[in-house]
Chain A
Amino acid sequence: MADLLAHVLVAYAVLTVVGWRLDWLDQQWVVVGMCGAAIPDLGKVNLVVHESTIRSALGVPFTYAPLATIGGVVLVAGIVTQLFAHDRRRVFGLLVAGGGLSLLGDALRAYADGHSEFFLYPVLYWRPPTPSLYVSSDLWVTAVAIGVAVVVFAVDRYVA
């Protein structure tokens, strides 16, 4: 999606609406899914410690790219899940759901050759075709995410 704020707000909106049908999915669990939505963006650590620095230090090929794939989301979700005292299956499911929503949003971004990233690594080495709806710097995407999240918040608080 456009940025991490949009990812987190989309996860909030989707999981809150799903929570209207699932009694156990209240806000304490929705925030777990929102944190899961941040997993594919962990690759931004590249801005702090560049992968080329690690490549040089270790002398092996190295890339953070798997963090923005379903394989990376599942592994990071599994790691984070171990930090919870109880209900770890539920935590894991919500982290993966949040991360999956972010990957789905990223799959709609524009690419010059018409295909998005290898999101399904390591299951499939395939770049799905993208509808090229936006680029990561499009502020209108964030604005829409904020608007939807505000509406969902209001309905959740005063109607649902």
Chain B
Amino acid sequence: MTAGRRLIVVVVLVGLLLGTFVHYGANGPRRGYPSPGSIDAEYDAHVGETVFLLAEVAEIDDGSATLRVRGTGSPYELRAVGLAPPITPGALIQVYGELGADRTVAVSNAVVVNPSRTAELTKYGLSALGAALALALFFWYWRVDLASLGFEVRRDG
């Protein structure tokens, strides 16, 4: 395949990929729970519904916690009851439960995604290390060949 044809294929595939970004955003699959933005904007309409939220634990009191819910809009706070320890302030958690009156969610299940900001940063650091490892090994075995406008195996690779 000539370089020109490869370029055309790249343009077509990039177009398709961008199309999936828009399609997923507009008509893609949904989890079937009310969105965080919709909960915040029309809270009373969602009371009694099952929700699935991503939230940061802001405070913990006796048997309940203040959650800072993350979504597409600005974060907002909800009260969570029934959270099982160990969950500490600053943790990022998934919450599954039922929305009650007075901006409260009765938690059926929660998963701690990041127990702390340090854990989150460690995860990103390890991911950066993984990317660096993959790229370093790739260019150990492969090189850019200007004549063929593509990657070629290094002869000494």
For residues 115 through 138 of chain A, which have their beta carbon under 8 Å from a beta carbon of chain B? 118, 121-122, 125-127, 132, 135-137
Q: Is the CB of B22 within 8 A of A62?
A: yes
CB neighbours (8 Å) of A113 from chain B are 31, 52, 96, 109
Instruction: Give the residues in chain B near A25, CB-CB below 8 Å.
Output: none
Question: Does A31 contact B148, Cβ atoms closer than 8 Å?
Answer: no
Q: Is the interface of B mostly helix, strand, loop or mixed?
A: helix
Chain B, residue nearest A87 (CB): B153
Query: Which residues of chain B (85-120) have a CB below 8 Å from chain A?
Result: 93-96, 109-115, 119-120
B73 to chain A: closest residue by CB: A52
Q: Compute how far the CA of A36 lies from the CA of B133 in the bound complex, rounded to whole angstroms.
A: 13
Q: Does any Cβ of A come within 8 Å of B150's Cβ?
A: yes
**Pairs across A and B, CB under 8 Å, 10 listed:** A3-B127, A31-B134, A31-B142, A34-B134, A85-B148, A86-B148, A86-B150, A113-B31, A118-B29, A135-B113
User: B-side interface residues toward A, CB under 8 Å?
Assistant: 1, 6-7, 9-10, 13-14, 16-17, 20-26, 28-29, 31, 52, 72, 93-96, 109-115, 119-120, 122-124, 126-131, 133-135, 137-138, 140-142, 145, 148-153, 157
